Structure 1
């Protein structure tokens, strides 16, 4: 209204539209419209007072209403477009859907202009979230720099983990190589130790390492993260889906790290990058004048918020995650490409596995069934003998040394027989040795000793030979050497052409 009133004053002073335009008040076209309205209402008469702003606005609005703008070709679809816009659908997607479903022939520029007009008529209203001292911390991941390890030459991508205290804006930042559950929990622990305290509430997005099912009303939290929250005594507060504005302070914190720390820096490796990042957090970032609080974040933290945080627990919660795995027929389950044994009676069952930094615990219906050391290399296996079936354990325990020890207790011939079995360098004779030793339970040690003696005499070093001797009771007959000598004497007396070998080469 100020410009219109100034233009009317100049018109009443006799200036032309060209002269008024040169002052920059408004263009020739608008001045022509205003002059016609002024002449019609008598505003150019110097003897009359200028109209009030309200009267002037009413006349000009009626003028605009009498000449409405051209109706948009998208007006018939206004309600549908408003619905799609409220759901966050992109403009190009709206244009493609209108063409596909409703035969729209207009250009994307028409859709863009229509969306701009909707945004002007229905502005988005927001409110600033306020937090008490020590009430909340906000957490998020952002894309980090690509690092080249100068020692190994490895090139790898990184992520930046940022936790910002909502009141003081003091932050903790760390570069990591992944967004796994172990990394997520480890970063939380190091952040709490950096602050020397825990905020009452942790506001997060919906990453898979923390939330298994994102939902507005009933989100499902990772079991490991829930255990961590219980140990550190903080509440998990996930943001609604696709609504990161609820944690705008850490969103700004991630951008601040990416725009102010990462550019124009060189890193030797991941450890060197984190050292530089922590120095930057405690010096430049912590001592800057914050744009909202107008106070250095580190100063607000040290002077006020640090004392209001919850104290750290005497013993930090174990950094562990949960997994579910099926117990296979070999009495082992596989987690992270490593295999761990569990009781053989649970074969085919799905078991809960809790993996910490040093141990692996296996549960069945919340009952602990096995504890293993954490394996670090893919393909490794850890077996507890008690988890195997009895006959598997028996076979595994009856090694060659066990067989020799049992045979020695039976007798010298049995020990010698077993020793001869293991002298075979081509065939594995462990089962044969186990079978020979096992015959002692059925026939007794004395008969087994005699059977081994007979088999050794005839140099028949086989399990079957000992078994047949015992089955046919040949071990209870006379000494095999004595029987052989008697048979030799009887044969010599009845031979038709037999001669005494002592006289064979004697001269007569």
Structure 2
């Protein structure tokens, strides 16, 4: 039998066909034919020690096998390409293979041998296995256990940075990024940056069971963090957390994290950093080196494998990237204001005492009640003293109070009449500042709402007839007693309207008799 292994080995060492023919004692035509057929099916050195010449001959000359074997040899190259398509598996392809054999009168392989032969073909040709990992199928993510540090050049304080890693299992294409913490915002942003780096989205997203992504993951129920679920919906991917205590569910992510630990974190162990930006830049540079590092057992690297075999199967990115949002639940206090940690924002006052959901993004604060958005504010990045309040969220009394100003009170008084206007002007000018008279003006407006502007005008006119310093108490008493309804010449008793002067009112006769009259 021709020594196919030796031919491939010597060819990999750049021997000429004449030299190979002399060494293996075969003709140069045989050597040329073997090398041509091996190149056509992607077979190259090195090969595993368990691979025999018989197995190589079956790959190179399937027609010879068919001459003595009544079973039809499958087209493994075709099977490999078809497995890359969504929804296609070996069971479907074996069924189609059997149908083709029956149509041509040939005997097919049984399913087990069919699968074993494909695996052997993929192992010999170093083809990416399609059985477990299809292109564009999943992205696995995790945090690295080790950290990088940097030192503040001013204070001398040392800070940790954390490495996020994502990997596409089919091509092993990786993404890594340095973060200042492992909180929810950075966790979500790293996913956004990973999708942008890959230039597409996978059908599935496989994280570990960390709290920033998964609230609960049991045999019967999986509850995702609301922000994580929102991000997945934005990109059209499905989150399938790895099972608890089943690291093989994301073995490539675990392996990539270890690989990143070696070729990124360990490679930078002796380098001194003095800012987070320096760490982030160094990690990005090492990531490129990692993806361009040649494979040991097959040609190419992670980047070429991705663009050759997986890029075409990735889902397109959405038009706009996802903006990370943090959700929380609070009970609306009596002042109907909620906080984003820096500033306070209003919600409708009728939700006082109710639990609402708050969605915080970089630019907006949104409040939801029973799934419906009830308020939205533009988020203020700097801290300010006054809360951000929308007038429609306030009760009518509070809304009126905010609208208090001298011009507004005077404008309202003109609608009532000249006497009311004179009283309002007195209230606004009686103190050192107009604001000191706002309370009296507000009380006057309430009297106008209660008794009507016409009666209020009459009451103000009567008060101004006997005093130049009207008071709310005087006007209120006139309205309660109905004195504003008396004609101008009526028996109005000014004494009964609380006079301004509080001198002696009992008369001289009382004191001449030396006491109270009997």
TM over 0.5: yes
**Structure-1 separation of matches of 2:318 and 2:361:** 18
C-alpha distance in structure 1 between counterparts of 2:203 and 2:410, whole Å: 67
The answer on whether the counterparts of 1:451 and 1:470 sit within 8 Å (CA) in structure 2 is no
Q: Which runs of 5+ in 2 are unaligned?
A: 1-129, 495-518
Q: 1:390 aligns with which of 388, 396, 403?
A: 396
Name the counterpart of 2:460.
Answer: 451
Give me the whole-angstrom Cα distance separating, in 1, the residues matched to 2:454 and 2:153: 70
In structure 2, the CA distance between the partners of 1:240 and 1:443, relative to structure 1 (3 Å rule), is: closer
**Cα distance in structure 2, aligned partners of 1:402 and 1:231:** 48
Partner of 1:219 in structure 2? 222
Aligned ranges 1:52-451 → 2 under 5 Å: 130-142=132-144, 143-150=146-153, 155-261=158-264, 262-282=268-288, 284-291=289-296, 295-336=300-341, 338-376=343-381, 381-423=387-429, 424-425=431-432, 428-441=436-449, 442=451, 444-445=453-454, 448=457, 451=460
Task: State the Cα deviation string for residues 311-339 of structure 1 (Å, max 9, x = none).
Answer: 11233344323322212222233454643
> Higher mean Cα deviation, 183-192 or 173-182?
173-182
How has the CA–CA distance of structure 1 residues 176 and 389 changed in structure 2, closer, same or farther, with 3 Å as cutoff?
Answer: same
Give the TM-score normalised by structure 1: 0.61
CA contact (8 A) 2:263 2:286 kept: no
Would you say the 8 A contact 1:331–1:341 is kept in 2?
Answer: yes
Q: Residues 245 and 443 from structure 1, CA distance in 2 versus in 1: closer, same or farther, beyond 3 angstroms?
A: closer
Distance 2:416 2:473 in 1: 19
Which protein has the larger Cα radius of gyration, Structure 1 or Structure 2?
1
CA contact 1:439–1:448 (8 Å) conserved in 2? no
* 1:278, distance to aligned residue in structure 2 (A): 1.5
Answer yes or no: is the 8 Å Cα contact 2:359–2:365 preserved in 1.
Answer: yes
Distance 1:457 1:255, change over 3 A: farther
Conserved in 2, the CA contact under 8 Å of 1:448 and 1:470?
A: no
CA shift, 1:139, in A, is 0.5
1:402 Cα offset (Å)? 1.9
Q: How many residues align?
A: 352
* Aligned residues of 1:159 and 1:178 also touching (Cα < 8 A): yes
Shift of 1:208: 0.9
Paired with 2:252 and 2:319, the residues of 1 have a C-alpha distance of 30
Tell me, in whole angstroms, the C-alpha distance in 2 between the residues paired with 1:252 and 1:457: 95
Quote how far apart the aligned CAs of 1:191 are. 0.8
Q: Map 1:15-34 onto structure 2 (within 5 A).
A: none
> Contact between 2:447 and 2:456, CA under 8 Å: does it hold in 1?
no
Which residue of structure 1 aligns with residue 73 of structure 2? none
Contact 1:360 1:371 in 2 (8 A): yes
Instruction: After TM superposition, give the deviation of residue 244 of structure 1 in Å.
Output: 2.9
The separation in 1 between residues aligned to 2:165 and 2:280, in whole angstroms, is 12
Q: Equivalents in 2 of 1:133, 1:168: separation in Å?
A: 7
Segments of 5+ residues of structure 1 without an aligned counterpart are 1-127, 484-508
Rounded Cα–Cα distance in structure 1 between residues aligned with 2:406 and 2:375:
29
Q: In the TM superposition, what is the alpha-carbon distance from 1:204 to its structure 2 partner? A: 1.2
CA offset digits 1:347-390 (Å, max 9, x no partner): 22222233233222222222222222224456873322222223
Q: Matches of 2:308 and 2:224 in 1, distance apart? A: 34
Distance of 1:451 and 1:408 partners within structure 2: 13
Matched, 1:465 2:474: yes
- Aligned-residue CA RMSD in angstroms? 3.3
| Superposition TM-score, scaled by structure 2 size | 0.60
Give the C-alpha shift of residue 129 in structure 1: 8.9
Of 139-148 and 151-160, the range deviating more from structure 2: 151-160
C-alpha displacement at 1:281, in angstroms? 1.3
Cα distance in structure 2, aligned partners of 1:293 and 1:448: 98
Note closer, same or farther for the CA distance 1:269–1:445 as it changes in structure 2 (3 Å cut): farther
Q: Cα 1:264–1:237, aligned 2, differ >3 Å: closer, same or farther?
A: same
- Kindly provide the CA deviation profile for residues 391-443 of structure 1, in whole angstroms up to 9, marking residues without a partner as x: 33233334443212212343455334323323424883322111123333425
